[in-house]
Structure 1
Amino acid sequence: MRFSRRAFLASTACLAFAHAARAEGYVKPVDFTPGGGPPVAPVRPVVETLWGHQITDRYRWMEAQGPEWQAYMRAQGAYAAKVLAALPGRDALAEAIGKNTAAVAAVVSVQTGGETLFIERRPAGANTSKLFMRAGANGAETLLIDPDSYAKPGEHAELDWWEASPDGAHVVFGVSSGGSERSVLRVLDVTTNTVLPEQIDRTNWASPSWLPDGSGFFYNRLQDVSPDSLDYEKNSLCWLHRLNTDPAQDVKLFGHGLDASVPVQDIDAPGIAVTPGSDIAIGMLESGVQNELTLYAAKLTDVLAGHPGWVKICAPEDAVTGFAVRGAEIFLLTHKHAPHYKVLKLAAEKPQIANAVEVVPQSMAVIRAIAAARDGLYIRELDAGLAGLRHLGADGKITQVALPFSGAIDEDSFYADTLHGGAWFGLESWVRPQVICHVAPDGGVMQTDIAPRPEIDVSPYVSEEVFATARDGARVPLSIVYRKGVKRDGAEPLLMEAYGAYGITLDPVFLARWLPFLDAGGVFAVAHVRGGGELGEEWHLAGQKAEKYHTWQDAEDCVLHLIEAGYTSHRRVAVIGGSAGGITVGRLLTERPELVAAVIDMVGVSDALRSEFSPNGPPNIPEFGTVKTEEGFHDLLAMDAYQHVHDKVKYPSVLLTTGMNDPRVAPWEPAKMAARLQAATASGNPVLLRVDTDAGHGIGSTRAQRDQETADIMAFVLWRTGDPRYQPKV
Structure 2
Amino acid sequence: MACLSRRALLAASTALAACGTARAASRPAGPHPIRIDGGPPKAPVRPVREMYYGQLVTDPYRWMESEDAEWRAYVRAEGDYARAVLDKIPGRDKLAAAIDKNSKAVTSVDMLQIAGPHIFTQRRPPDADIGRLYVRDGLSGTDRLLIDPEHFSEPGTHAALDWWAASPDGASVAFGISQGGSEHSVLHVLATATGAVSPLAITRTDDANPSWLPDSSGFFYNRYQDVPADNLHYEENSSAWLHLLGSDPARDIRLIGPGIENGIPLTPIDEPAIVATPGSDILIAQISSGVQNEVSLFMASLQDTLAGKPAWTRICGPADQVTDFTVRGTEIFLLTHKHASHYRVLKMSAGNPQLFTAKMVVPQSRAIIQTLAAAQDGIYLLDLDAGLGRLRRLGMDGKVTELKLPFAGAIDTDSFYADTLHAGAWFQLQGWVRPPVICQAHADGRVSETNLAPQPDIDVAPYTSKEILAPARDGARVPLSVIYRKGLQRNGNATLLMEAYGAYGITLDPSFMARWLPFLDEGAVFAVAHVRGGGELGEDWHLAGQKAAKYHSWQDAEDCALHLIRLGYTSHRSLGVVGGSAGGITVGRLMTERPELAAVVVSLVGVSDPLRSEFSPNGPPNIPEFGSVKTERGFHDLFAMDAYQHVHNGVDYPSVLLTTGLHDPRVSPWEATKMTARLQAATASKNPVLLRVEADAGHGFGSTRAQRVQETTDVMAFTLWRTGHAGFQPPG
1:392-407 to 2 correspondences below 5 Å: 392-407=394-409
Q: Displacement of 1:309 after TM fit? A: 1.1
SS in 2 for 1:132: strand
Q: Which has the higher mean CA deviation after the structures are superposed, 442-451 or 604-613?
A: 442-451
Match of 1:148 in 2: 150
Find the counterpart in structure 1 of residue 188 from structure 2. Answer: 186
Residue matched to 2:4: none
- The aligned counterpart of 2:494 is 492
Secondary structure, aligned partner of 2:727? helix
How far did residue 727 of structure 1 move?
1.2
Aligned equivalent of 1:53: 55
Q: Determine which of 342, 345, 354 is the counterpart of 1:343.
A: 345
Q: For 1:612, give the aligned amino acid.
A: E
Displacement of 1:514 = 1.4
The whole-number CA distance in structure 2 between the counterparts of 1:48 and 1:233 is 27
Q: Are positions 1:242 and 2:244 aligned together? A: yes
1:156-197 CA-to-partner distances (Å, cap 9, x unmatched) read 110000000000000000000000000000001112220111
- Kindly report structure 1 stretches of 4+ aligned residues shifted beyond 3 Å: 1-10
Question: 2: CA distance between counterparts of 1:322 and 1:288?
Answer: 15
**1:432 maps to which residue?**
434
Aligned to 1:386: 388
Aligned counterpart for 2:468 among listed residues 466, 469, 472: 466
Mark the CA change 1:7 to 1:196 in structure 2 (over 3 Å): closer, same or farther.
farther
Paired with 2:528 and 2:83, the residues of 1 have a C-alpha distance of 27
1:582: which partner in 2?
A: 584
Q: Match for residue 352 of structure 1? A: 354
Structure 2 match to 1:301 = 303
CA contact (8 A) 2:389 2:411 kept: yes
Q: Which AA in structure 1 matches 2:278?
A: P
Quote how far apart the aligned CAs of 1:537 are.
Answer: 0.3
The 5 A counterparts of 1:156-555 are: 156-555=158-557
Q: 2:718 maps to what in 1?
A: 716
Separation in 2 of the partners of 1:439 and 1:411? Answer: 15
Shift of the alpha carbon at 1:222?
0.3
Q: Is the 8 A contact 1:381 1:387 kept in 2?
A: yes
The superposition leaves residues 42-91 of structure 1 with CA deviations (integer Å, 9 ceiling, x where unpaired) of 10111111111111000000000001101111110110000000001101
C-alpha distance in structure 1 between counterparts of 2:183 and 2:381, whole Å: 30
1: CA distance, partners of 2:242 / 2:690: 47
Residue 602 of structure 2 corresponds to 600
The Cα RMSD (Å) is 1.1
TM-score by length of 2: 0.98
From the superposition, tell whether residues 7 and 593 of structure 1 become closer, same or farther in structure 2 (CA, over 3 Å).
closer
SS in 1 for 2:15: helix
CA distance, structure 2, for counterparts of residue 14 and residue 578 of structure 1: 22
Can you list the C-alpha shifts for 1:26-52, whole angstroms capped at 9, x where unaligned? 331112231132111110111111111
Q: Distance in 2 between matches of 1:322 and 1:394?
A: 20
Match of 2:98 among 96, 99, 106: 96
Query: What is the deviation of 1:97?
Result: 1.4
Q: Distance in 2 between matches of 1:2 and 1:455?
A: 35
SS of the equivalent of 2:44 reads: coil
Q: 2:731 matched to 1:725? A: no
Which deviations, in whole Å up to 9, do the C-alpha atoms of 1:220-262 show, x marking residues without a partner?
A: 0000101111110000000000111111010100122212511
8 A Cα contact 1:387 1:409, kept in partner? yes
Q: Which residue of the partner structure matches residue 21 of structure 2?
A: 19
Q: Which digits, 9 at most, give the CA deviation of each residue in 1:669-692, with x for residues without a partner?
A: 011000000000001100000000
- Which one-letter code corresponds to 1:406 in the other structure? A
Counting aligned pairs with the same residue, the percent is 63
Q: Is 1:613–2:615 an aligned residue pair?
A: yes
Residue of structure 1 in register with 2:3 after alignment? none
Are 2:143 and 1:130 equivalent residues in the alignment? Answer: no
Q: 1:46 to 1:5 in 2, by over 3 A?
A: closer
1:9 paired to 2:15: yes
Query: What is the CA distance between 1:3 and its match in structure 2?
Result: 5.4
In the TM superposition, residue 354 of structure 1 has moved relative to its aligned partner by 1.2
Shift of 1:470: 0.4
CA distance in 2, matches of 1:477, 1:712: 28
Cα deviations by residue, 1:334-374 (Å, 9 ceiling, x for unpaired): 00000000000010111121110000000000000001111
- State the Cα distance separating 1:4 from its structure 2 match: 5.6
* 8 A contact 2:11–2:581 mirrored in 1: no
Number of corresponding residues: 726
Partner of 1:116: 118
Aligned partners of 1:218 and 1:271 also within 8 Å:
yes
Quote how far apart the aligned CAs of 1:419 are.
0.3
Matched-pair contact (CA < 8 Å) for 1:21–1:486: no
Q: Give the letter for the 1:184 counterpart.
A: V
8 Å CA contact 2:580–2:605 kept in 1: the answer is yes
| Counterpart contact for 1:323–1:332, Cα < 8 Å | yes
Alpha-carbon distance in structure 2 between the residues aligned to 1:20 and 1:322: 45
State the SS of the aligned residue for 2:105. coil
Q: Distance in 2 between matches of 1:728 and 1:305?
A: 72
- Deviation by residue 1:606-660 (Cα, 9 ceiling, x = unmatched): 0010000000000000000000000000000000000000000000000000000
Instruction: Give the unaligned 5+ runs of structure 2.
Output: 1-6
Cα distance in 2 for residues equivalent to 1:136 and 1:576: 42
| TM-score, normalised with respect to structure 1 | 0.98
| CA deviation string 1:308-332 (max 9, x = no partner) | 1111000000000000000111000
SS, match of residue 458 in structure 2? coil
Residue type of the alignment partner of 1:658? T
